[in-house]
Amino acid sequence: MLPVKSITAMELHTGSIVDTVEIEETAFSEQISAARIDAEKFLSRSEHTMHQLRSYLIRRKYLERVADDLLLWAERCSLVDDRRYASVFIRSHSRNSPMGNFRIRMELRKRGIPDSITDEALSERDEVDLYRTLVKTVNNKYGYLERQTGLRRATGYLQRRGFQHDLISRVIDDAFRNSEEKSD
């Protein structure tokens, strides 16, 4: 939809014969600067993926051509970088609220990150540090409970976080061995 000032500038009125190429070019030039300002505000709040930026612009009713042009601009200016996003996401969810590889893949896929980038970022993950964090987390959250209750709750917690069974077993063994040693 063209703004009224553009319709007036093009001297359009009811029954006018319209050149669609001219209208598309006018609409593009009308939207591009406003869309860039919107994109800058959106990207200044936090790290985002290309998919998230494109979805945001389309939701704001910008033309697809405008969204595509701004994606190229944002990538060129390093405002959006899917590899950086995946790396930051994985680091954050290895320390603050640990997630297993399965859950990370699912979350990054929802955000439009290709599996190849996810695989690359996951290969850089410090598994030893993650293991220590999980043992400490399980010990702090469930180590004070009666053993069976703690085991059940810790297992459910780690499963919901997307960890595999063999890792869950090792973490729980270490966490509850540590809590037993503390209580002796």
Q: List, in order of start, the domains of the chain with CATH numbers.
A: 4-80 (no CATH), 81-125 (1.10.10.10), 126-184 (no CATH)
Q: How many residues does the chain have?
A: 184
pLDDT tens for each residue of 38-78: 999 999 999 999 999 999 999 999 999 999 999 999 999 99
pLDDT for position 49? 96
pLDDT tens for each residue of 13-28: 676 666 677 777 777 8
Whose CA is closest to 117, among 170, 149, 81? 81
pLDDT for position 163? 94
* Helices assigned H by DSSP within the chain: 4-9, 20-45, 50-59, 64-76, 82-95, 101-110, 115-123, 127-142, 147-160, 165-183
What does the alpha-carbon distance between residue 102 and residue 121 come to, in Å, rounded to a whole number?
13
